[in-house]
Structure 1
Amino acid sequence: MLYRIVFFLLFSAVLISSNAHARDYRFSDSHMHYVDFFQNSDGMNKLLESMDKAKVDHVMISGIPLTKKWDENEPKRPRYYAGDYGSTYWYSATDDIVANAVMKLSPEQQKRFHPFLCGFNPTDKNADEHIRRLLDRYPGLWQGIGEVFTRHDDITAMTEGETPRPDNKAMERVYRLAADYDLPVMVHANITSQRERNPLYVDEVETALKKHPEVRFIWAHAGTSKSLHRVQERLNFLHPRLEELLKDYPNLYIDLSWSMLDPYLLNADGTPDKDWLALVEAFPDRFMIGSDVVGSFDSMGKFLTGFEPFLDALPTAVAKAVARDNFLAVLPRNRQIASAEPQPD
């Protein structure tokens, strides 16, 4: 009798383990940066190698809209934007770096890449004209706008000029252009500051959603960041407020990049959070996952496979949509392959 019980338990354990890893996910990386804050990159060959290794079929590829200054008062070249007290500044050439890298690929390779342009100052009411020039210069290339840096932790304080907001007049002009060209817009907009334990800035996001229902908004990290988590750990108001916004605004999509795994999607013991599972199931076409790698791509696979425990707890169809297809669904309806050469201004 004891033998049968032991055998049954061992068989059950093997079966559970087998089922837990039975799904073979293919991914779309909905949030990655080809360059870092110094506009450097591991290069396209390394990116393609990492994509193939991580089973990534498609990527949102963007630059970084800011670059870090090596200040006169700093004796050592900084290695990260937060490495010293030097400022950051808006850097429009980041889009040309991305465009040149993608356009060197074959047409078949290009189909895996979905470039978003981001190299503009979101407080400048000329920003929409800059974007229009880039759209004309590289016809057929751009698939979206972003990641637009609005309220973004220490970066906002380090960047000279006005504080960017997702609802300012300059961004309203960008949203109207995005609607004209059927481009989704990914916005980084912190839902609160590092010290306030309430959704301090959520009205700025909601205003943009309400005024521009024709624009597909992708909210980067659902309004969170690692810097917020270091100070506040878990934002308890995030889940209920996000649920309200998703109900009220069908044009809102959520980027669940790696910083969302802890402390939201997975509990301390590694089990999926039931409330977040229920939220994703309630809005199965509105969530996507991204690595948010920055110029270096070795960790892409680790970040994306880190979502598998959460994905495994979802219904199969929902999990595969979140892993791959929801991102593709927000892209422009009529995609073209980019021209071989940029067009003159």
Structure 2
Amino acid sequence: MHALRISFALILGLTAQFAQAREYRYSDAHLHYVDFFQESAGMTELFEQMAAGNIEHVMLSGIPVAKKWHEDEPKRPRYYAGDDADAYWYSATDVLVAHAYKQVPAEQRTRLHPFLSGFNPNDKNADAHIRRMLELDPGLWQGIGEVFTRHDDLTALINGDTPRANNEALARVFHLAAEYDLPVMLHSNITSKRERNPLYLQEIEDPLRNHPHVRFIWAHAGTSMEIHRHQEKLDFLLPTLQRMLKQYPNLYIDLSWTMLQPYLLDAEGKPDPAWVKLVSSYPARFMLGSDVVGRFNGLAENMTGFKPFLDALPEDVAQQVARDNFLAVLPRKVQAELAE
């Protein structure tokens, strides 16, 4: 029995060593090229960080709102939550993303995947605007998003009505996404800062049910740092995702920064077995994102921070989550070009 225990310990040790030796290639499925003031550190810093982090592909989106520097504020805020001034829908964000993309050498553009986000999700004209943008630059845009709906305190700051993922304006956008074979990334909080139940879940489930031909990427599975500040960990999140992934084959989960802790890793940085099991059970449905906003100096560190969790997955599943699953939701035409 003693010999068996020693053998088992050796096997575990070898397995751990093998896991630590893994190297991953990454796709960043959630990256904002500009910040809330529509400013960016630029492509040079982005590509430097991609090289440092072994990041082969990035989703490239703008920020659909701009933060106002109000007349009454003596200091320019650094973030949307820096003061009480409004934010407003800002369509030119897509112009900035497209311009930056076009300055990159052609051989490098295949690593960048622009998503169109500069529209008001409460406006039933939004689909017409998106169609115009798609026709102005045929083949440039590879997805729609990040679409801001329920989004912590930002929701209250944006001029106009609160956006909902299941409103009529976005239904028109989703029909357009299906027509153009574009994935859609949605930011739709699963609950509020106070309610310990999935208060807003129907708002994301309605589109999943009503638009089965659209591939939806749910930004950080409806969580946010602001929710965690008030509620720490949402105990209902895991069983809710288990049900939804089984029920909706068009649902994909962006495991960006607010998911790393307290969900994927515990307080000691160890992988949570329940989340390892969930991701392993749906190996094609999860992807990684940094959710960096206009500054890229921490990009490599953000992405490699997922390594302890990836190491706990079967190796083939880990590589799917780290890199391949994001590429697999892009338009079929783009996938064919990448395969050449």
Letter in 2 for 1:92: S
Displacement, 1:316? 0.5
User: For residues 70-149 of structure 1, what are the structure 2 equivalents within 5 Å?
Assistant: 70-149=69-148
Assess, with a 3 A threshold, how the Cα gap between structure 1 residues 244 and 17 changes in structure 2: closer, same or farther: closer
Displacement, 1:269? 1.3
Distance 1:198 1:10 in 2: 42
1:35 paired to 2:34: yes
Paired residues of 2:328 and 2:335 also in contact (CA < 8 A): no
Paired residues of 1:28 and 1:56 also in contact (CA < 8 A): yes
Deviations 1:107-144 (A, max 9, x none): 21010000000000000000001101110111110000
Deviations 1:210-262 (A, max 9, x none): 00000000000000000000100000001101111111000000000011011
Letter in 2 for 1:210: R
Distance 1:311 1:61 in 2: 23
1:202 paired to 2:185: no
Distance 2:172 2:11 in 1: 58
User: For residues 1-345 of structure 1, what are the structure 2 equivalents within 5 Å?
Assistant: 15=14, 18-335=17-334
SS at match of 1:335: helix
Paired residues of 1:141 and 1:336 also in contact (CA < 8 A): no
- The aligned length equals 333
Letter in 1 for 2:100: A
Letter in 1 for 2:188: A
Letter in 1 for 2:296: F
Displacement, 1:12? 8.2
Paired residues of 2:27 and 2:322 also in contact (CA < 8 A): yes
Paired residues of 2:34 and 2:294 also in contact (CA < 8 A): yes
Between 1:316-325 and 1:70-79, the stretch displaced more is 70-79
SS at match of 1:174: helix
Letter in 2 for 1:144: G
Deviations 1:16-39 (A, max 9, x none): 663232111000000000000000
The two structures have a TM-score, normalised by structure 1, of 0.93
Paired residues of 1:288 and 1:327 also in contact (CA < 8 A): yes
Distance 2:334 2:62 in 1: 20
Distance 1:151 1:54 in 2: 31
Displacement, 1:335? 2.5
Distance 1:11 1:223 in 2: 41
Letter in 2 for 1:272: P
Distance 2:94 2:157 in 1: 22
Distance 1:216 1:297 in 2: 27
Distance 1:11 1:186 in 2: 44
Paired residues of 1:220 and 1:257 also in contact (CA < 8 A): yes
In structure 2, what is the equivalent of residue 341 of structure 1?
none
Distance 1:17 1:216 in 2: 35
Letter in 2 for 1:22: A
SS at match of 2:186: strand
SS at match of 1:230: helix
In structure 2, what is the equivalent of residue 3 of structure 1?
none
Letter in 2 for 1:146: G
Assess, with a 3 A threshold, how the Cα gap between structure 1 residues 330 and 12 changes in structure 2: closer, same or farther: closer
Deviations 1:182-232 (A, max 9, x none): 000000000000000000000111111000000000000000000000100
The two structures have a TM-score, normalised by structure 2, of 0.94
- Where in structure 2 are there 5+ consecutive unaligned residues? 1-6
In structure 2, what is the equivalent of residue 5 of structure 1?
none
Distance 1:18 1:278 in 2: 21
Letter in 2 for 1:147: E
Between 1:11-20 and 1:88-97, the stretch displaced more is 11-20
